[in-house]
Structure 1
Amino acid sequence: MHVRGVDPRDTTWEQDDATYRVYFWDRSSTASDEYEVTGADVEEVLAWARAKAAETGSAYTLYVRVTDDGRPGLVRLGGVTGDPFA
């Protein structure tokens, strides 16, 4: 982990309401279940994802959905990196 101080003026926008995507990876197959979550903060989504993963015996990946030049994309926030079956 690398930590450095920043100038908060280096960004041009921020958004208070995030849209999250959570992928649950079934360890017994190569399938995944995907969910979109809104109306919650990252701690709530993480708690839900961890509880569902424990209940179902699956791994999870948590992303925040962002838009870059009008194109949607995902930024990983936690969980397994990428497709665990790749």
Structure 2
Amino acid sequence: MDIRGVDPRDTTWELDHARYRVYFWDRANAVSDEYEISGEVDVEEVLAWAAQFAEEHRYTVYVSVKTSGDSGLIRLTGVLGDPFARPLSAARDEQAAESAAIRIGPFTPG
């Protein structure tokens, strides 16, 4: 984390209420449910709602922004990267198992 002092005069605009997106990830079925939250809502309310609504699913909360007419998302919290990607440890375990099977070979009764 990098922390530095700033000059508050370096910004040209400010919004009191943002538009948020919350994605709930169902990894078992490789699908997601997406919601947009807007109005007079603070980020704390959005985070509390997401945590309560998520149940057993993982989720990501974004703030939705537009720059030069293009829409984009900035992640605030939750899953980082591809939520459907296999964890690196699972890929390593699978690769190690395949390697061991090649070295040992099939069992032949003698």
Is the TM-score greater than 0.5? Answer: yes
More helix by share: 2
Deviation sequence 1:13-60 (CA, Å, 0-9, x none):
11112100000001322100000001211000000101111x2x1000
Identical pairs, percent: 67
Gaps of 5+ in 1: none
Gaps of 5+ in 2: 86-110
The question of 1:36 aligning with 2:36 is answered yes
Residue 83 of structure 1 and its aligned partner are, at CA, apart by 2.4
Instruction: Calculate the TM-score normalised by the size of structure 1.
Output: 0.91
Question: Which structure's relative contact order is higher, taking Cα pairs within 8 Å and 6+ residues apart?
Answer: 1
More strand by share: 1
Runs of 4+ more than 6 Å apart: none
Instruction: Calculate the TM-score normalised by the size of structure 2.
Output: 0.72
For residue 83 of structure 1, give the secondary structure of its aligned residue in structure 2: coil
Over aligned residues, Cα RMSD in angstroms?
A: 1.0
The answer for the alignment partner of 2:75 in structure 1 is 76
Aligned length: 84
The answer for the alignment partner of 1:17 in structure 2 is 17
